[in-house]
Amino acid sequence: MSLVTTTDLYEVTMALSYLREDMRAPATFSLFVRDLPPERGFLVAAGLEPALDYLSRFRVGRSDVQEFAEVLKRPVEDFAPLHGLSFDGEVRAVPEGRLVLSGEPLLEVTAPLPQAQLVEPYLLSLLCHQTAVASKAARCVLAAAGRPLVDFSLRRAHGPEAGMQAARLCALVGFAGTSNVAAARRYGIPAAGTMAHSYVEAFDWEERAFRAFARTHPGPVTFLVDTYDTERGVATAARVLRDLRLGPGCAIRLDSGDLGALARRARAALDEAGLRDVRIIASGGLDEYAVAALVREGAPIDAYAVGTKVGTAADAPYLDAVYKLVEYDGRPVMKLSSAKATAPGPKQVFRGPGLRDVIGLANEEPPEGTEPLLRTVMRGGLRTEPPDPPAAARARFETDLAALPEEARRIDAPVAPRPTVSTRLTVLTTVVRHRLEARTGAGRRPGEKAPE
């Protein structure tokens, strides 16, 4: 199925106008986040891999032209110039897993203007959603302080495909597993899960449910112990585990109530029963704030299952991201609107130690002691290298996270590093601004004459 028509209407009307005006020269668009959401000290770049898949398959077919005509209620012939249009441009991007800051391009597209315009909404949708979820998941990793995390987000994600993406992104930043069977299979993520309260309720008493479950799954099992009375549930689980001698790796799951206090009582009961190797897993509306609080209080919880609030990036479900034209036909361009001005020209981000970043022009030399973040990942509409292995993205994430300043790593009230701007980019911005102000009258009071 074609994804070409998954775009905004004005992209179609603009692209058609460009073609009729023969405006097919190369255009560079920069996709970046203006400002980080509150309570974010960093973002994790994500969504590039599916974005490259989309661009590599992008081609306007006859059925797409027909759809455009039907939606605009115009003759099909009006949209004939769009037929056969495919993406044959270049993409420079920050690889998945790297940390990024406000104003830094996640991705830059250089392609004939109609092509680069049509793909805007799909690219923004992919990168914004996935970067938001990956960043939320990364904060959970920080909060857990080395304890395993499992993705439970599928049932509350904003659609099944969003659940698939969440599982992949959680694994990218270090989660140990996912409950999503399809995602486990597609991405090679360990599958993890327990039982639901409905399973326990389907039996006439709790112990019978636990024993039946263990008969079907004789390996390590996890019993959900808070369907009725949590402390009684822990005692019942302990009795079944001891009687059946199920071996190491078994666990109980706490899903409600005061998880810290319940975990302490459960740990004491399990230890007293000689089950010191049985783990305690916590779930139930958890996010980085709840996990951090439990870790701080020393709750004896061995692993955390997080779902709804991570899969939806609940406290920051969108990013203030834009896709702005910065150069057309070799001419640097910029937007002058108040509070929404953009900088002209293709960019590069030069990263120094401690995420001391410099945003500069793509063709300038890196400052001493820095490395460029954006690399060419597509040329002529084709990938420049095979799909990025998940392990590589995770390694990049871990390297950048280790270098992140402590104040940006905080769960509460983090302070994000602020990138600086290179001298060359500052000069170009000033020159282009003055040129545009002289030409358009921007910045002058009504009735004020342009300078001679």
339 and 285 in a common domain: no
**Final residue in a domain of this structure, among 303, 330, 357:** 303
pLDDT at res. 443: 57
Whether the pLDDT of residue 42 is over 70: the answer is yes
pLDDT tens string 302-348: 999 999 999 999 999 999 999 999 999 999 999 998 778 899 999 99
The verdict on residue 178 lying in a domain is no
In the block, tokens 């980080």 appear at: 36
**Final residue in a domain of this structure, among 303, 336, 363:** 303
The verdict on residue 342 lying in a domain is yes
pLDDT tens string 431-445: 999 999 988 776 555
pLDDT at res. 451: 46
C-alpha to C-alpha distances, 287 to 31, 130, 165, 198, nearest whole angstrom: 28, 17, 18, 24
Whether the pLDDT of residue 219 is over 90: the answer is no
Concatenated DSSP letters of 297-364: TT----EEEE-HHHHTTTTS-S--EEEEEEEETTEE-----TT-----S-EEEEEEGGGEEEEEETTS
Domain CATH number, residue 272: 3.20.20.70
Average pLDDT, the chain: 94
- Looking at the structure of the chain, the number of domains it has is 2
Domain CATH number, residue 13: 3.20.140.10
Helices (H), 173-306: 181-187, 197-202, 206-216, 230-244, 259-272, 288-296
Measured between alpha carbons, how far is 86 from 98 in angstroms, rounded to an integer? 29
What is the value of pTM for the model shown?
Answer: 0.94
Q: Quote the longest CA-to-CA distance of the chain.
A: 94
The verdict on residue 142 lying in a domain is no
C-alpha to C-alpha distances, 356 to 322, 384, 399, nearest whole angstrom: 23, 28, 15
The verdict on residue 399 lying in a domain is yes
Highest mean pLDDT among 243-252, 291-300, 429-438: 291-300
CA-wise closest residue to 113 among 5, 47, 4, 21: 21
434 and 342 in a common domain: yes
The verdict on residue 84 lying in a domain is yes
The verdict on residue 220 lying in a domain is yes
292 and 322 in a common domain: no
Ramachandran class of 413: left when φ > 0, alpha when ψ lies in -120 to 50, beta otherwise: left
320 and 299 in a common domain: no
Q: Domain containing 209: what range?
A: 193-303
The verdict on residue 106 lying in a domain is yes
Q: 49-71 burial, b for 16+ CB within 10 Å, e for fewer?
A: bbbbebbeebebbeebbebbbee
In the block, tokens 């995390």 appear at: 149
The verdict on residue 156 lying in a domain is no
**Final residue in a domain of this structure, among 259, 280, 303:** 303
pLDDT tens string 269-288: 999 999 999 999 999 999 99
359 and 265 in a common domain: no
Strands 222-224 and 149-151 turn out to be: unpaired
Task: Say how many C-beta atoms besides its own lie within 10 A of residue 417's C-beta.
Answer: 18
123 and 15 in a common domain: yes
